[in-house]
């Protein structure tokens, strides 16, 4: 089924505009947010949790009518912030103080720039490191780095090492010479692999 032009426009709307629509649902009583930051959907005679797990451990809320193509999804922590504290300025994020992304209690939320959010994760929570296998785009492990350095020291050509590990010659060169993965010392010996028949 093709998206109508109106659906395409809604897909590219700023989060703040989508959140305004969700706030209207709260104002009308179809959604309620309790003092713990939990969002509830009002059904006929009972209420049920409206949040669902999204990427990265965050909670999201979907409102609207899917049959008519009027469904939108907003992040729960942003909706909670706006209900309790007001609008979120442009280029500002909501930071979870305790690092638990599903904990949307108002006391756990604070405004932060992107930089402040990342520094909070590094220094306060100790959860972010961009070295080695913690980097989002790593293709080799620490053990591979040690093996690459040993192969290079044994005189194996960069192209051959790259073929073994799925890397370019330039990438192998940076790893072998310690320009990349510099946090791994050269003196660590890799575990020897023995092949038995």
Is the model more confident about 70 or about 37?
Answer: 37
Asked if the model's pLDDT at residue 25 lies above 60, the reply is yes
pLDDT at 46: 77
Segment among 56-60, 99-103, 171-175, 190-194 with least mean pLDDT: 190-194
Rounded to two decimals, the pTM is: 0.58
- Mean pLDDT over 46-70 rounds to 81
Q: Sheet holding 72-75: strands in order across?
A: 51-53, 59-63, 72-75
- Mean pLDDT over 92-120 rounds to 91
pLDDT at 93: 92
d(CA 160, CA 109) in angstroms, rounded, equals 51
Closest to 140 in 3D by CA, of 127, 149, 152, 153: 149
Q: Which structure tokens are listed for 118? A: 């990342």
Is the model more confident about 34 or about 15?
Answer: 34
For the chain, what percent of residues have pLDDT higher than 90? 28
Question: pLDDT-derived band of residue 1, with 50, 70 and 90 as boundaries?
Answer: very low
β 93-96/31-33 pair status: unpaired
The count of residues in the chain is: 197
pLDDT at 187: 59
Is the model more confident about 101 or about 13?
Answer: 101
β 72-75/109-112 pair status: unpaired
pLDDT at 197: 56
In the chain, the domains with their CATH numbers are 5-125 (3.90.75.20), 133-176 (1.10.10)
Please give the C-alpha separations between residue 40 and each of 106, 115, 123, 145, 189, in angstroms, as whole numbers: 16, 32, 34, 49, 55
Segment among 25-29, 129-133, 157-161, 191-195 with least mean pLDDT: 191-195
pLDDT at 8: 47
d(CA 2, CA 32) in angstroms, rounded, equals 33
Mean pLDDT of the chain, nearest integer? 81
Please give the C-alpha separations between residue 10 and each of 50, 52, 70, in angstroms, as whole numbers: 21, 21, 9
């Amino acid at each position: 089924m093709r998206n109508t032009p109106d659906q395409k426009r809604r897909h590219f709307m700023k989060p703040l505009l989508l959140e305004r629509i969700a706030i209207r649902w709260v104002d009308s009583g179809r959604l309620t947010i309790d003092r713990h930051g939990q969002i509830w959907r009002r059904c006929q005679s009972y209420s049920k949790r409206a949040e669902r797990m999204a990427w990265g451990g965050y909670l999201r809320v979907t409102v609207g009518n899917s049959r008519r193509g009027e469904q939108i999804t907003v992040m729960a922590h942003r909706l909670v912030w706006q209900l309790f504290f007001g609008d979120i300025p442009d280029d500002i994020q909501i930071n979870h103080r305790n690092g638990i992304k599903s904990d949307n209690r108002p006391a756990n939320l604070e405004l932060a720039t992107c930089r402040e959010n990342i520094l909070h994760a590094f220094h306060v929570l100790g959860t972010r490191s961009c070295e080695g296998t913690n980097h989002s785009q790593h293709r080799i492990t620490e053990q591979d780095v040690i093996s690459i350095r040993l192969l290079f020291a044994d005189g194996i050509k960069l192209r051959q090492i790259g073929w073994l590990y799925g890397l370019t010659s330039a990438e192998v060169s940076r790893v072998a010479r310690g320009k990349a993965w510099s946090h791994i010392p050269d003196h660590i010996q890799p575990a020897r692999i023995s092949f038995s028949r």
